[in-house]
Amino acid sequence: MRRFVALVDALNEGVGRLVAWLTLLMVLDAFLVAVLRYGFSFGAVSMQESYVWMNGVLFMAASGYALKHDAHVRVDVFYGPAGPRTKAVVDLLGTLFLLLPMVGAVFWFALPYVWASVGRLEASREAGGLPALYLLKGMILVFCLLTGLQGVALALRSYLRLRDAR
Protein backbone atom coordinates (compact mmCIF):
# COMPACT_ATOMS: atom_id res chain seq x y z
CA MET A 1 0.00 0.00 0.00
CA ARG A 2 2.77 2.41 0.90
CA ARG A 3 4.42 1.80 -2.47
CA PHE A 4 1.17 2.54 -4.32
CA VAL A 5 0.71 5.76 -2.32
CA ALA A 6 4.28 6.80 -3.10
CA LEU A 7 3.83 6.08 -6.83
CA VAL A 8 0.59 8.07 -7.03
CA ASP A 9 2.17 10.92 -5.08
CA ALA A 10 5.14 10.94 -7.46
CA LEU A 11 2.86 10.86 -10.52
CA ASN A 12 0.76 13.82 -9.38
CA GLU A 13 3.83 15.70 -8.18
CA GLY A 14 5.40 15.35 -11.62
CA VAL A 15 2.23 16.25 -13.50
CA GLY A 16 1.59 19.22 -11.21
CA ARG A 17 5.09 20.60 -11.60
CA LEU A 18 4.95 20.12 -15.37
CA VAL A 19 1.60 21.80 -15.95
CA ALA A 20 2.50 24.64 -13.57
CA TRP A 21 4.56 26.02 -16.46
CA LEU A 22 1.29 26.66 -18.27
CA THR A 23 0.73 29.54 -15.86
CA LEU A 24 3.73 31.38 -17.28
CA LEU A 25 2.68 30.56 -20.85
CA MET A 26 -0.86 31.81 -20.17
CA VAL A 27 0.44 35.13 -18.84
CA LEU A 28 2.79 35.57 -21.78
CA ASP A 29 0.05 34.64 -24.25
CA ALA A 30 -2.48 37.01 -22.68
CA PHE A 31 0.14 39.78 -22.68
CA LEU A 32 0.94 39.15 -26.32
CA VAL A 33 -2.76 39.12 -27.25
CA ALA A 34 -3.27 42.48 -25.53
CA VAL A 35 -0.17 44.07 -27.10
CA LEU A 36 -1.07 42.85 -30.57
CA ARG A 37 -4.71 43.89 -30.25
CA TYR A 38 -4.28 47.34 -28.72
CA GLY A 39 -0.83 48.17 -30.01
CA PHE A 40 -1.07 46.84 -33.55
CA SER A 41 -4.82 46.30 -34.13
CA PHE A 42 -4.19 42.63 -34.78
CA GLY A 43 -6.18 39.81 -33.24
CA ALA A 44 -6.21 36.06 -33.57
CA VAL A 45 -8.98 33.94 -32.12
CA SER A 46 -6.62 30.99 -31.77
CA MET A 47 -4.31 33.02 -29.53
CA GLN A 48 -7.22 34.11 -27.36
CA GLU A 49 -8.53 30.57 -27.10
CA SER A 50 -5.11 29.18 -26.29
CA TYR A 51 -4.85 30.80 -22.87
CA VAL A 52 -8.38 29.71 -22.00
CA TRP A 53 -7.50 26.16 -23.04
CA MET A 54 -4.24 26.28 -21.09
CA ASN A 55 -6.21 27.32 -18.03
CA GLY A 56 -8.53 24.34 -18.49
CA VAL A 57 -5.61 21.93 -18.87
CA LEU A 58 -3.88 23.42 -15.84
CA PHE A 59 -6.99 23.18 -13.67
CA MET A 60 -7.83 19.62 -14.72
CA ALA A 61 -4.32 18.15 -14.68
CA ALA A 62 -3.22 19.82 -11.44
CA SER A 63 -6.25 18.82 -9.39
CA GLY A 64 -4.56 15.64 -8.14
CA TYR A 65 -1.46 17.67 -7.29
CA ALA A 66 -3.62 20.11 -5.32
CA LEU A 67 -5.27 17.22 -3.45
CA LYS A 68 -1.84 15.77 -2.65
CA HIS A 69 -0.80 19.10 -1.14
CA ASP A 70 -4.11 19.60 0.71
CA ALA A 71 -4.78 22.74 -1.34
CA HIS A 72 -8.46 22.11 -2.07
CA VAL A 73 -11.12 24.17 -0.35
CA ARG A 74 -12.15 22.74 2.99
CA VAL A 75 -14.26 23.98 5.88
CA ASP A 76 -11.73 24.08 8.70
CA VAL A 77 -14.12 24.72 11.58
CA PHE A 78 -13.64 21.19 12.89
CA TYR A 79 -10.81 19.84 10.78
CA GLY A 80 -8.25 22.57 11.53
CA PRO A 81 -8.00 22.09 15.31
CA ALA A 82 -8.56 18.31 15.14
CA GLY A 83 -5.85 15.84 16.05
CA PRO A 84 -4.09 13.57 13.55
CA ARG A 85 -6.41 10.61 14.24
CA THR A 86 -9.57 12.67 13.70
CA LYS A 87 -8.12 14.17 10.53
CA ALA A 88 -7.30 10.70 9.24
CA VAL A 89 -10.90 9.57 9.90
CA VAL A 90 -12.32 12.66 8.16
CA ASP A 91 -9.97 12.22 5.20
CA LEU A 92 -10.79 8.51 4.89
CA LEU A 93 -14.56 8.92 5.13
CA GLY A 94 -14.62 12.08 3.01
CA THR A 95 -12.62 10.37 0.29
CA LEU A 96 -14.66 7.17 0.30
CA PHE A 97 -18.11 8.76 0.52
CA LEU A 98 -17.68 12.12 -1.21
CA LEU A 99 -14.58 12.46 -3.39
CA LEU A 100 -14.43 9.06 -5.08
CA PRO A 101 -18.18 8.82 -5.84
CA MET A 102 -18.11 12.33 -7.30
CA VAL A 103 -15.06 11.62 -9.44
CA GLY A 104 -16.71 8.38 -10.57
CA ALA A 105 -19.90 10.20 -11.51
CA VAL A 106 -18.00 12.87 -13.44
CA PHE A 107 -16.10 10.14 -15.32
CA TRP A 108 -19.31 8.20 -16.04
CA PHE A 109 -21.12 11.22 -17.48
CA ALA A 110 -18.07 12.69 -19.23
CA LEU A 111 -17.06 9.53 -21.06
CA PRO A 112 -19.79 9.63 -23.76
CA TYR A 113 -19.33 13.41 -24.07
CA VAL A 114 -15.60 13.01 -24.69
CA TRP A 115 -16.03 10.02 -27.03
CA ALA A 116 -18.55 11.94 -29.11
CA SER A 117 -16.09 14.80 -29.40
CA VAL A 118 -13.26 12.45 -30.39
CA GLY A 119 -15.52 10.70 -32.90
CA ARG A 120 -16.23 14.01 -34.64
CA LEU A 121 -12.62 15.22 -34.27
CA GLU A 122 -14.27 18.29 -32.81
CA ALA A 123 -12.58 21.65 -33.26
CA SER A 124 -13.35 25.10 -31.98
CA ARG A 125 -16.65 26.58 -33.12
CA GLU A 126 -14.99 29.94 -33.64
CA ALA A 127 -13.66 30.87 -37.07
CA GLY A 128 -9.90 30.82 -36.77
CA GLY A 129 -10.12 28.91 -33.49
CA LEU A 130 -7.97 26.05 -32.34
CA PRO A 131 -8.36 22.55 -33.75
CA ALA A 132 -8.58 19.43 -31.57
CA LEU A 133 -11.13 20.57 -29.00
CA TYR A 134 -11.57 16.87 -28.26
CA LEU A 135 -8.13 16.88 -26.59
CA LEU A 136 -9.23 19.62 -24.21
CA LYS A 137 -12.45 17.74 -23.46
CA GLY A 138 -10.38 14.62 -22.89
CA MET A 139 -8.74 16.43 -19.99
CA ILE A 140 -11.95 15.81 -18.05
CA LEU A 141 -11.06 12.11 -18.03
CA VAL A 142 -7.46 12.90 -17.09
CA PHE A 143 -8.84 14.96 -14.20
CA CYS A 144 -10.90 11.99 -13.03
CA LEU A 145 -7.97 9.61 -13.32
CA LEU A 146 -5.41 11.78 -11.52
CA THR A 147 -7.79 13.03 -8.83
CA GLY A 148 -9.28 9.57 -8.33
CA LEU A 149 -5.84 7.99 -7.96
CA GLN A 150 -4.81 10.69 -5.51
CA GLY A 151 -8.05 10.13 -3.61
CA VAL A 152 -7.31 6.42 -3.31
CA ALA A 153 -3.79 7.30 -2.12
CA LEU A 154 -5.26 9.72 0.44
CA ALA A 155 -7.67 7.06 1.70
CA LEU A 156 -4.89 4.49 1.98
CA ARG A 157 -2.60 6.98 3.73
CA SER A 158 -5.38 7.77 6.19
CA TYR A 159 -6.05 4.07 6.78
CA LEU A 160 -2.33 3.45 7.40
CA ARG A 161 -2.24 6.34 9.89
CA LEU A 162 -5.20 4.92 11.76
CA ARG A 163 -3.75 1.40 11.71
CA ASP A 164 -0.31 2.53 12.85
CA ALA A 165 -1.79 4.72 15.63
CA ARG A 166 -3.20 1.66 17.44
Q: State the pTM of this model.
A: 0.90
Alpha carbon distance 89, 141 (integer Å)? 28
SS3 content of the chain, % helix, strand, coil (to 5): 80, 0, 20
Res 166 pLDDT > 80 = no
Average pLDDT over residues 75-83: 80
Res 75 pLDDT > 90 = no
| The pLDDT value given to residue 80 | 81
| Per-residue pLDDT reduced to its tens digit, 14-73 | 999 999 999 999 999 999 999 999 999 999 999 999 999 999 999 999 999 999 998 887
- Hey, which bits of the chain come out as E strands? none
| Per-residue pLDDT reduced to its tens digit, 94-146 | 999 999 999 999 999 999 999 999 999 999 999 999 999 999 999 999 999 99
Pick from 64, 89, 78: nearest CA to 9: 64
- Asked if residues 129 and 123 have their Cβ atoms less than 8 Å apart, the reply is yes
Domain ranges of the chain: 2-164
Exposure on the CB side of residue 110, measured as CA atoms within 13 A: 17
